[in-house]
Amino acid sequence: MTQANLSETLFKPRFKHPETST
């Protein structure tokens, strides 16, 4: 998992991005 992935994972609930979920 990249650092960006960790941040995006936390932002997932805030920003529902199916692409970021990958």
Higher pLDDT, 20 or 3: 3
Query: Is 21:12 a contact under the CB 8 Å cutoff?
Result: yes
Query: At 17, which amino acid appears?
Result: H
pLDDT confidence bin for 19, thresholds 50/70/90:
low
pLDDT at 5: 74
Segment 1-22 mean pLDDT: 63
pLDDT tens column, 8-17: 776 666 656 5
The neighbour count for residue 22, using CB atoms within 10 Å, is: 7
Cα dist from 3 to 9, 15, whole Å = 10, 17
